[in-house]
Amino acid sequence: MAGTVHTTYQGGHRFYADDSTKVTVPGVTSVIGMYPKPFLAPWSAKLTAELAVDSIDFLSRLQREGAVAYLKDASKRYTKEAADKGSEAHDLFERMIRGEQNLGRVSDRVAPHVRYFEEFIQVVQPDLICAEDIAWSDEHGYAGSFDLIAEVRIDPERKLIDHQGEPATLMIDYKTGKSTYPDVAMQLTAYTMANRFISADGASYAPPEIHGGAVLHITEAGWSFKSVKLGDEPMNAFLAALEFFEANQQWKSVAHGHLGKPLAKSAARLVTGTERRAR
């Protein structure tokens, strides 16, 4: 983390706090998270159902409360495991892109990712410009940590890697989940449109000229390097999410005062003598 900047978590959202200016702003991915993800509920239900079917014998030996607790946290456990694996992979990717040779022991769960990242470096031959710095927007009030800015050579139509082609500076994001989604265009555009970048020692510097975006998708099965179109459309969508994020934060701070006590309610249920004696 940059020298004078640290992250905090409030209500499940990430914020970036600048200790030198005492300014706190929301993180880019938390802002994008304001957009609904209708696929999450069916995915979580399917994951829980599969776990229940696959664990019938184990669940039958538990008390009801324990079985319910085990099943209801299925998606949370899966998400945490995926996030931990992604963080471990990102750490190794940074070391590799910076040219570090001795990675130490690589766990089995990210060994394929490391192998494919090495293949990506060999095939694409990216030239590092900066990595894992913070993009900070003083204009709009947001921040985020980007994975990589690198120069690559691509063909004139910008569709394929061409080592004899023109150099292009790309804002690149790493994804280690099962899929990639168009939301990454908002993420990379927001980073690109920041007013300044902040390095690990806390120094601010002017962002380089960015020619486009890309996402490096690495799984246990392989890798792909996809172009991402940046521009006004994803930025406008991001700013709309940012406006809603800020409105939601403001509402949560005052919401409790807007719901009063009942002005009237149903009469108390009559307790009969039989019921009283049974107690």
Return the pLDDT at 211.
Answer: 94
The reported pLDDT for the residue numbered 114 is 95
pTM of the model: 0.87
Quick one: pLDDT at residue 101? Answer: 87
Q: Is 93 exposed, middle or buried (0-12, 13-18, 19+ CB in 10 A)?
A: buried
Residue 156 lies in a domain: yes
Residue identified by tokens 């963080």 is 87
Domain count of the fold of the chain = 1
Q: Is residue 86 part of a domain?
A: yes
Q: Tell me the CA distances in angstroms from 114 to 84, 87, 111, 154, 185, one per residue in order.
A: 15, 13, 5, 24, 25
**Domain presence at residue 277:** no
Has residue 65 been placed in a domain? Answer: no
CA distances from 161 to 10, 65, 118, 165 (A): 41, 55, 16, 8
What is residue 268's predicted lDDT score, i.e. its pLDDT? 78
Residue 272 lies in a domain: no
20's tokens: 């030198």
Range of the domain at 200: 5-35+73-246
Contacting residues for 102 by C-beta, under 8 A, at least 6 apart? none
Nearest to 172 by CA among 189, 192, 147, 138: 147
Asked if the structure places residue 48 within a domain, the reply is: no
Positive or negative: CA dihedral 121, 122, 123, 124? positive
Convert the pLDDT of each residue in 147-185 to its tens digit.
999 999 988 776 678 888 889 999 999 999 999 999 999
Block mean pLDDT (10 aa), the chain, length 279? 80 90 94 90 91 91 92 90 93 95 91 96 96 96 97 81 88 95 97 96 94 96 96 98 96 90 84 79
The sign of the CA dihedral 244, 246, 250, 253 is positive
Q: What is the pLDDT of residue 3?
A: 64
**267 in any annotated domain:** no
* 22 lies in some domain: yes
